């Protein structure tokens, strides 16, 4: 009887806690420098959460080690809902498959909700002879090993999406890694490298100015940032090709489920605001929201998918 009473008391205290949450400022750790996509998305949503919940959501940038420093800080924080992580695909879905990290993302963190997806686009120089995705595939397939593709670095999200595209499209091309998307795209524009799959944020202005041409975006739906550009799944006839980087909120493992659910519900409300959607468009991001359980299942699928890409392509990080 005492055990039942104790369980009921705990359940009641959690419920009361969730109802009053938050009753003080909430800290959001961003494991990247200011101005990066994760930083911008977290701040935009944080502003809405502050308005909706009546408490400040204070952003703290803790960059370093590819996002793992800030991520570890949150993984080791008290699970009370007052320290959150601006989570993203790099340190959560990709890095643990490439090297040892000081945290296990699926065990040490509690998913809250996605807040944005980041679509990518397949781009070539205007002089590239193909005029559409199917012509591009035919040309590259007919010349195995002749064409090169750029990425923002070995093991970067852009590298992963290109390797998956090449595999599904049966292309044999040579990878040329760069230190960032700017030099990678500069050489695609100049014709030194044949193609790249990079973010809509980094390619969009070049596409609109005519410095690059695109054959499609990587997501299953068209991107709000490039609404006239088809999906590669359709344009290249590659069913199932659906890739986007992601940004979300997470909390330390053990955070009460009622708090996670409350945050997720408020995020869902926040991302439906017209002004938020409009702020995302020039940043090359599309709005997203999920329940904690949906985000958890999504993260498991993403980690498994990146593990398969890394294994199939033999990707290794040189230390």
Tell me the residue ranges of DSSP E strands in the chain: 26-30, 57-61, 83-88, 109-124, 148-151, 174-177, 195-199, 213-217, 244-252, 286-287
List own/partner pairs for 158-162 with CB under 8 A and 24 or more apart.
158/120, 158/184, 158/196, 158/197, 158/198, 158/199, 159/315, 160/94, 160/243, 160/306, 160/309, 160/310, 160/315, 161/120, 161/197, 161/218, 161/243, 162/196, 162/197
Question: And the tokens for 111?
Answer: 């998913």
pLDDT value at residue 319:
56
* Residue 131 pLDDT > 70: yes
pLDDT above 90 covers a percentage of the chain that reads 93
Q: What is the pLDDT of residues 53-71, one digit of tens each?
A: 999 999 999 999 999 999 9
pLDDT category, 9, cuts 50, 70, 90? low
Q: Tell me the mean pLDDT in the region 15-19.
A: 63
CA–CA gap between residue 113 and residue 61 (Å, rounded):
20
Task: In whole angstroms, give the CA distance from residue 181 to residue 159.
Answer: 11
| Phi/psi at 108 (5° precision) | -90, -10
Query: Does the pLDDT of residue 5 top 70, yes or no?
Result: no
pLDDT tens digits, 106-120: 999 999 999 999 999
What are the chain's domains?
25-117+244-313 (3.40.190.150), 119-235 (3.40.190.10)
What pLDDT is attached to residue 278?
96
Residue 75 — φ and ψ, nearest 5°? -60, -30
Instruction: Note if the bond before 319 is cis, omega within 30 degrees.
Output: no
- Quote the pLDDT of residue 6: 47
248-270 residue pLDDT tens: 999 999 999 999 999 999 999 99
Strand partners, 287: 116
Which secondary structure element, helix H or strand E, spans residue 46, and what is its range? Answer: helix 37-53
Position of tokens 């800030």? 70
**Residue 18's pLDDT is what?**
67
Residue 204's pLDDT band (cuts 50, 70, 90): very high
pLDDT at position 50, please?
Answer: 98
Beta bridge partners of 59: 28
At residue 134, the 3 state secondary structure works out as helix
The whole-number average pLDDT for the span 90-112 is 96
Categorize the per-residue pLDDT at 17 as very low, low, confident or very high, splitting at 50, 70 and 90: low
CA 128, CA 136: separation in Å to the nearest integer?
9
- For the cut 80, the answer to whether the pLDDT of residue 199 exceeds it is yes
pLDDT beyond 60 at 2 = no
Q: With bands split at pLDDT 50, 70 and 90, how would you rate the model's confidence at 20? A: very high
Q: How confident is the model at residue 164 (pLDDT cuts 50, 70, 90)?
A: very high
Averaged pLDDT for residues 91-106: 96
Task: Assign 4 a pLDDT band (cuts: 50, 70, 90).
Answer: very low
């Amino acid at each position: 009887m005492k055990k039942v009473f104790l369980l009921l008391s705990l359940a009641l205290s959690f419920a009361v806690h969730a109802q009053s949450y938050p009753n003080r400022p909430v800290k959001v750790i961003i494991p990247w420098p200011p101005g990066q996509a994760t930083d911008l998305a977290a701040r935009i949503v944080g502003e809405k959460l502050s308005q909706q919940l009546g408490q400040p959501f204070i952003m703290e940038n803790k960059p370093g080690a590819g996002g793992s420093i800030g991520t570890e800080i949150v993984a080791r924080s008290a699970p009370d809902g007052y320290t959150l992580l601006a989570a993203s695909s790099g340190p959560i879905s990709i890095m643990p498959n490439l090297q040892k990290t000081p945290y296990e993302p699926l065990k040490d963190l509690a998913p809250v909700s996605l807040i944005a997806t980041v679509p990518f686009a397949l781009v070539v120089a205007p002089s590239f002879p193909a005029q559409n995705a199917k012509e591009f595939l035919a040309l590259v397939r007919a010349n195995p090993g002749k064409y090169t593709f750029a990425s923002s670095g070995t093991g970067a999200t852009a590298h992963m999406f290109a390797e998956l595209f090449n595999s599904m499209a049966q292309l044999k091309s040579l990878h040329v890694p760069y230190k960032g998307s700017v030099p990678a795209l500069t050489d695609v524009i100049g014709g030194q490298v044949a193609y790249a799959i990079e973010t809509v944020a980094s390619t969009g202005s070049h596409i609109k100015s005519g410095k690059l041409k695109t054959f499609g975006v990587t997501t299953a739906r068209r991107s709000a940032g490039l609404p006239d550009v088809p999906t590669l799944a359709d344009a290249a006839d590659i069913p199932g090709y659906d890739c986007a980087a992601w940004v979300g909120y997470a909390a330390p493992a053990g955070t009460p489920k009622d708090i996670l659910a409350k945050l997720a519900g408020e995020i869902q409300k926040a991302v439906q605001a017209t002004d938020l959607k409009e702020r995302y468009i020039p940043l090359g991001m599309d709005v997203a929201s999920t329940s904690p359980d949906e985000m958890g299942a999504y993260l498991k699928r993403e980690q498994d998918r990146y593990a398969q890409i890394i294994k199939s392509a033999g990707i290794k990080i040189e230390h």
